[in-house]
Structure 1
């Protein structure tokens, strides 16, 4: 297995294990077994578990944001519909088998207090999401500062869906977002 294949296999195995079970309970040896990458090579690619966690989160961030943007960009209609499309996409994500909430929130909650680099990656992801939603909100004719309400609806839906085990919070948050958009259009 060449270095690029080994890196990809290790990242995929680690991300799956971390997301399903948590970071602290998953050992590097379990990642070795799941990935087929020797422990020596695993540590050559990622000198620490923290480095592997960061790499997993960075890869997930790129993929997650690209999937969200592709979905929103594929929705026809006025700019307000693109804001609502965020919540439609969240419903699809929440409906995926094995959905366990936001990997960034989970990682931050599990090790963010003791690993500033992981906390930093989580913060960057949340800020990028806020900036993306702000762009949609501004395009819909609202001031940028109103984006926080939509972001909080989305973040609350993510946590609630993970805890409740149902994708319904995405629909609930979408209805609230639609009311906000409607109210903004009236004023």
Structure 2
């Protein structure tokens, strides 16, 4: 995932807070949330522990800020990918093209929200809630795209599940082709609903 969210981060936050979030994001995504302690973050960010705790009162607060940062990156990049398409149907499939590019990047480690939920949900209801909110937002977005393209909300849910499954499977297996396979499955679902719609009109 690229960093189109950086500009948003720097515009909406002070530089010190932004640098801490960026350092934490890189460390957490590469090594995991539990494995990265405050001392490692101090070293990466170049900010003293005292200053870190002044900006963020707890590690949980930093994790939540990182998840907000990642959510905005996701929203911005998906919107950019969709804007390149010339039809509602093409926008539905563009998510898989976006995922294909992300999966092929050397830094790909899966969905940060799934990672955070898996590591921290049992001890941090706030992290669990933030991860759930991100997934609900993506679900609503895919439902909206489906309706705009003349399909059902349920189809949007199905397409969202394909995208989510592709992220998890690609992260675990290292097989970046999961995005292309999910795209082909999505095309089949679109074709099936289009055929049903045509049959209902005859």
1:136 pairs, out of 145, 150, 156, with: 145
Report whether the alignment pairs 1:24 with 2:25: no
- Normalised to the residue count of structure 2, the TM-score between the two structures is 0.88
4+ long deviations beyond 4 Å = none
For residues 9-88 of structure 1, what are the structure 2 equivalents within 5 Å?
9-76=19-86, 78-88=87-97
Question: C-alpha separation between the residues in 2 aligned to 1:132 and 1:151?
Answer: 9
SS where residue 142 of structure 1 aligns? coil
Partner residue of 2:166?
157
1:118 pairs, out of 109, 113, 127, with: 127
Partner residue of 1:5?
15
2:189 pairs, out of 170, 180, 185, with: 180
Question: C-alpha separation between the residues in 2 aligned to 1:156 and 1:145?
Answer: 16
Partner residue of 1:171?
180
Question: C-alpha separation between the residues in 2 aligned to 1:63 and 1:176?
Answer: 26
Over aligned residue pairs, what C-alpha RMSD do you find? 1.1
- 1:153 deviates by 0.4
- Normalised to the residue count of structure 1, the TM-score between the two structures is 0.95
Question: C-alpha separation between the residues in 1 aligned to 2:176 and 2:143?
Answer: 24
Q: Is the Cα–Cα contact under 8 Å of residues 155 and 189 in structure 2 kept in the other structure?
A: no
Report whether the alignment pairs 1:145 with 2:145: no
| Total equivalences in the alignment | 184
Q: Is the Cα–Cα contact under 8 Å of residues 14 and 56 in structure 1 kept in the other structure?
A: yes
